[in-house]
Amino acid sequence: MTDYIVPLILFFTAAAALRKRENAYDILLQGAGDGLKLLVSILPALVLLLTAVYMLRASGAVELLSRMAAPLFSFFGIPPETAMLVLIRPISGSAALAVGAELMAEYGVDSLIGRTAAVMLGSTETTFYTISVYFGAAGIQKTRYTIPAALFADFVGFFMASCTVRWLF
Amino acid sequence: MVMSWIWAGIVLVSILCSFLTGSGAKLAAATVEGAQGGVTLAVSMAGAICLWTGVGKLMERAGLTQALARLLSPLIGRLFPGTKRDGALAQDLSANICANFLGLGNAATPMGISAAKRMKRGDTATDELCRLIVLNTASIQLIPANVAAVRTNLGCGTPFDILPAVWITSLCSAGLGVTAAWLLGKVWKE
């Protein structure tokens, strides 16, 4: 069933565009070009961040962190191997992607840890970045309870990612 | 600025740890491998990012964004009562939520900021604005294209099999996040 979700989304989008007599192919091309620009803009950050992540991994610091975080993570049923990802996710999107990709490569994409990392990446946002962009642009000084509420939502995301992967696979 | 400290901190921690574990040679090699890894990761995601940015743009032009906005209007009206008095705010908000849903983060931000400017009171975040930020940080996304691309590149035959898990997780975190914001709003007055 899930196999057809993505192909059908592609078809229905094109069909809806054609019904409105839009030039579907041209719009797709424009969008793909925007995607390439986005990619070029994040590439330098990925290079720098993966350098740091690889260093951290080679030094044995990641295992050390996982071991320290293990009791707390196990209590909530979150794999302790994802500690680094959980810590960096709210701060930097590209760093989280780098850490997540490494987890998937190391433990296998279809392993419990690899899948949990993928779901965590797909269902959470770079919370601090989003908050600083919105509040910076709107000139907000008094943020009240936004940060605790947003971080709570992140925690629910990490927790639920671990649960859903355990239930569904 | 924050990232500068984090980056320097990570490098320092790596040096200290590798000194303790005696893995200095591996550490030096890791710098080159990591830099190359960044390029490899970017290239491995290129196809999926381009395709889905294109599809997202097409969804917008095909009127699917508006259709989605109509579908969501009862929910938006309840979460953001201000939209009943302010038509432009309602439009910005639904466009922001729909663009996020379609994975058009760059398109979502300007509309979200415009909504935020209408919702604020002086330099203080109103309850509705706090709720908007929580919704935006919870990431409700139809297709997490970059994650699927990373999985495919690592040899996964079914990169989209995580979709149901991603959707359930996003809905829970957005729902509970907004609930937490609503409860905090009752005790944390302006």
Question: DSSP class of residue A141?
Answer: -
CA–CA gap between residue A87 and residue A144 (Å, rounded) = 23
- pLDDT at residue B69, rounded to an integer: 79
Burial of B21 by CB count in 10 Å (0-12 exposed, 13-18 middle, 19+ buried)? middle
**Type of residue found at B81:** P
Mutate to test the interface with A, among B93, B150, B189 (most CBs of A within 10 A): B150
Q: What is the pLDDT of residues A148-167, one digit of tens each?
A: 999 999 999 999 999 999 99
pLDDT value at residue B1: 66
Residue A97 lies in a domain: yes
pLDDT score of A45: 85
Structural domain contains residue B185:
yes
Give the whole-angstrom CA distance, residue B91 versus residue B97: 10
> In degrees to the nearest 10, what's the CA dihedral of A114, A118, A124, A130?
110
Q: How far does the CA of residue B29 sit from the closest CA of chain A (Å)?
A: 9
Cβ contact B58–A17 (<8 Å): yes
Cβ-contact B176, A169 below 8 angstroms: no
Q: Report the percent of chain A where pLDDT is more than 90.
A: 54
- The pLDDT value given to residue A1: 58
Determine the structural domain holding residue A143 and report its residue range: 43-168
The whole domain housing B176 covers: 70-190
- Judge whether B35 lies within some domain: no
* Coil vs helix vs strand at A134: helix
Which of A13, A50, A122 is the closest to B162 by Cβ? Answer: A122
pLDDT of residue B115 exceeding 80: yes
Sort out which chain B residues have CB atoms less than 8 A from A48's CB and list them: 7, 35, 38
What pLDDT shows up at residue A26? 95
In a domain, A119, yes or no: yes
Q: What is the DSSP string of chain B?
A: -HHHHHHHHHHHHHHHHHHHHT-HHHHHHHHHHHHHHHHHHHHHHHHHHHHHHHHHHHHHHTTHHHHHHHHHHHHHHHH-GGGGT-HHHHHHHHHHHHHHHTT-HHHHHHHHHHHHHHH-BTTB--HHHHHHHHHHHH---S--HHHHHHHHHTT-S-GGGGHHHHHHHHHHHHHHHHHHHHHHHHHS--
For A156, which residue in chain B has the nearest alpha carbon? Answer: B173
Kindly state whether residue B48 falls inside one of the protein's structural domains: no
Q: Considering only the beta carbons, identify the residue of A115, A142, A153 that sits closest to B177.
A: A153
Kindly tell me the burial class for residue A167, based on how many C-beta atoms sit within 10 Å of its own C-beta (0-12, 13-18, 19 or more).
Answer: exposed
Residue B42 lies inside a defined structural domain of this protein = no
Predicted confidence at residue A65, as pLDDT, reads: 82
Q: Which of A3, A55, A164 lies closest to B168 in CB terms?
A: A164
Residue B183 counted as domain residue: yes
Non-local (6+) Cβ contacts of A158 within 8 A are A78, A82, A86, A89, A120, A124
Which residues of chain B does A144 touch, with a Cβ-Cβ cutoff of 8 Å?
124-125, 130, 184, 188, 190
The tokens describing A97, both together, are 């992607």
Query: How far does A75 lie from chain B, in Å, by closest CA?
Result: 19
Task: Note whether residue A25 is domain-resident.
Answer: no
Inside any domain, residue B34: no
pLDDT at position B41? 85
B164 shares contact with chain A (CB less than 8 Å): yes
Structural domain tally of chain B?
A: 1
pLDDT the model gives residue A2: 65
Q: Which of residues 82-111 of B touch A (CB under 8 A)?
A: 106, 109
Average pLDDT, chain B: 88
> What does the DSSP 8-state code read for residue A3?
G
Residue B94 lies in a domain: yes
Q: Which residues contact A131 (CB under 8 A, 6 or more apart)?
A: A143, A146, A147, A150, B133, B137
Query: Which chain B residues in 30-69 lie under 8 Å from chain A, judged by CB atoms?
Result: 30-31, 33-35, 37-39, 41-42, 45-46, 49-59, 61-64
How many angstroms away from the CA of A139 is the closest CA of chain B?
6
Q: ipTM score here?
A: 0.84
Number of domains in chain A: 1
Q: Taking CB atoms and an 8 Å limit, are A59 and B46 in contact across chains?
A: no
In a domain? residue B95: yes
